[in-house]
Amino acid sequence: MLGTVVAVLAVVVSVSLRSTPDPVVAAAPQAGTRAQSSNQASRGTAGQEMPVTDVRLEALTRHDAAPTGHDRNPFRFRPTAPPPAPRVVAPPPRETFVPPPVTGPPPPPPIPLRYVGLLGAATQPDRVAVLSDARGNPFYGKEGDMIEGRYRVLRIAADSVDVAYADGRGRQTLRISSQ
């Protein structure tokens, strides 16, 4: 039975606590004679009603010309700047093609002969030059003679010989070699 009394007492206490008004909330209606509505000012005008201004609904339905393109900026307060002038790009300098100088056909390869020495006296008119190729074969020739069918002896001196190809191209001076 004691348990039932404690339970009833707990229910009564909890109900009484819930029904007790909050001291801050309870003091608000006492400040003015009546509760303020949402369209009344809260400071300094307690107890006075503010008049409601007329709402012009026709101003909301007015249709102006729709703004287009760049006119839609609501933050612009000055006239639009003129568009920048187009940039003039100078054309690149013209490259003139300079053809390589005409040098003609490539020179013939060097003559693969060595001047070994002279047969006879250096003062003799019919001197004979001794030449050899890369394999060591000796060739003998006077001025104007053909050697190996490809080379012509042009001039013979004591220390050198002038040789050219048979057609006259590729003139070379061969110095006497010590080998």
Tens digits of residue pLDDT in 48-70? 787 878 877 777 776 666 656 66
CA–CA separation, 160 and 152 (whole Å)? 14
Mean pLDDT score, 68-96: 76
User: What is the rounded distance in angstroms from the CA atom of residue 111 to the CA atom of residue 161?
Assistant: 12
Question: In the predicted model, what is the mean pLDDT of residues 156-173?
Answer: 91
- Asked whether the predicted pLDDT for residue 23 surpasses 60, the reply is no
Q: Is 47 left (phi over 0), alpha (psi -120 to 50) or beta?
A: left
Q: Give the residue carrying structure tokens 């700047």.
A: 81
| Average pLDDT value for the chain | 78
Claim: this prediction has a pTM higher than 0.85: no
Alpha helix (H) ranges present in the chain?
Answer: 2-19, 23-31, 57-60
**Above 80 in pLDDT, residue 16?**
no
**pLDDT tops 80 at residue 112:** yes
What are the counts of helices (DSSP H) followed by strands (DSSP E) for the chain? 3, 7
